[in-house]
C-alpha cells in the first residue's frame, strides 16, 4: 500500500472519533468539522513522519490548539441569542443529562474543557493528555481538579455523575 492509501485508510477509520472530540471541545458541530478537516490536512502533509508514530495524538493536538486559538480570538464576542433547544427525552433522562453536561462543559475555559474531554471522553492517560496539550502532568492534574469542581458548581444536578470521575 502506498502512503496515500495508508493515510486515506487511517483518516477514514479515525475521522469520526476526532469529530466527536472536536464537537465536545467546541460545542459547535460546524466549527468542529473545520477543526477536524484542518487536523487531517496537517496530518496528511506530515504523514511520512507521523504514520509510524502516533498520528492521532498529533491530530488531537491540532484540534485542541485550533480551538483555543479560535476562542482567544472570539472570546470578546457575545452571543446575541441563545438557540432554542428542543427537549427530547428518551424515557430515561439521558438526553436531559447530556444537555446539562454539555451546558456545564460550555462554562469551562477551552483548556479546562480540553482536559475533561481528553481525560474522560477520549480516555487518555494524564501523560497522554499532557502531551496533547503541551503541558506538564501536574498541570493536567490541577486543571482536572479545577474543571471537575467548576462542573459541579455549574451543574449541581450532575453531582452523582461527577462524583464517579
Rounded average pLDDT per 10-residue block, the chain, 165 residues: 91 94 90 96 94 92 91 62 42 65 84 91 91 92 92 78 64
Closest CA to 36 of 9, 62, 6, 74: 62
- pLDDT score recorded for residue 8: 95
Give the DSSP H or E segment for 24. Answer: helix 3-26
d(CA 61, CA 163) in angstroms, rounded, equals: 28
What is the per-residue pLDDT across 65-95, written as a single tens digit (0 to 9) for each?
A: 999 888 888 765 444 344 444 444 444 456 6
**CATH of the domain spanning 1-77:** 1.10.1740
pTM surpassing 0.75? no
d(CA 107, CA 147) in angstroms, rounded, equals: 10
Architecture of domain 89-160: Orthogonal Bundle (1.10)
| Residue intervals in the chain for CATH 1.10.10.10 | 89-160
Closest CA to 11 of 49, 34, 31, 39: 39
| Residue intervals in the chain for CATH 1.10.1740 | 1-77
d(CA 11, CA 29) in angstroms, rounded, equals: 18
d(CA 69, CA 35) in angstroms, rounded, equals: 11
Interacting residues of 159 by C-beta distance below 8 A, sequence separation 6+: 152
Question: Grid coordinates in use for 74?
Answer: 472570539
Amino acid at each position: 500500500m502506498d502512503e496515500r492509501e495508508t493515510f486515506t485508510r487511517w483518516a477514514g477509520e479515525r475521522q469520526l472519533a476526532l469529530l466527536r472530540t472536536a464537537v465536545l471541545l467546541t460545542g459547535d458541530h460546524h466549527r468542529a468539522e473545520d477543526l477536524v478537516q484542518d487536523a487531517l490536512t496537517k496530518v496528511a502533509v506530515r504523514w511520512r513522519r507521523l504514520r509510524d508514530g502516533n498520528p492521532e495524538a498529533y491530530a488531537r493536538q491540532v484540534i485542541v490548539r485550533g480551538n483555543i486559538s479560535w476562542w482567544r480570538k472570539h472570546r470578546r464576542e457575545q452571543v446575541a441569542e441563545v438557540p432554542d433547544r428542543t427537549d427530547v427525552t428518551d424515557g430515561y433522562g439521558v438526553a436531559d443529562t447530556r444537555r446539562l453536561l454539555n451546558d456545564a462543559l460550555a462554562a469551562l475555559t477551552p483548556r479546562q474543557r480540553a482536559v475533561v474531554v481528553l481525560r474522560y471522553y477520549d480516555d487518555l492517560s494524564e501523560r497522554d493528555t499532557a502531551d496533547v496539550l503541551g503541558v506538564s502532568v501536574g498541570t493536567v492534574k490541577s486543571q482536572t481538579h479545577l474543571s471537575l469542581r467548576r462542573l459541579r458548581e455549574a451543574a449541581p444536578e450532575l453531582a452523582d455523575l461527577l462524583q464517579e470521575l
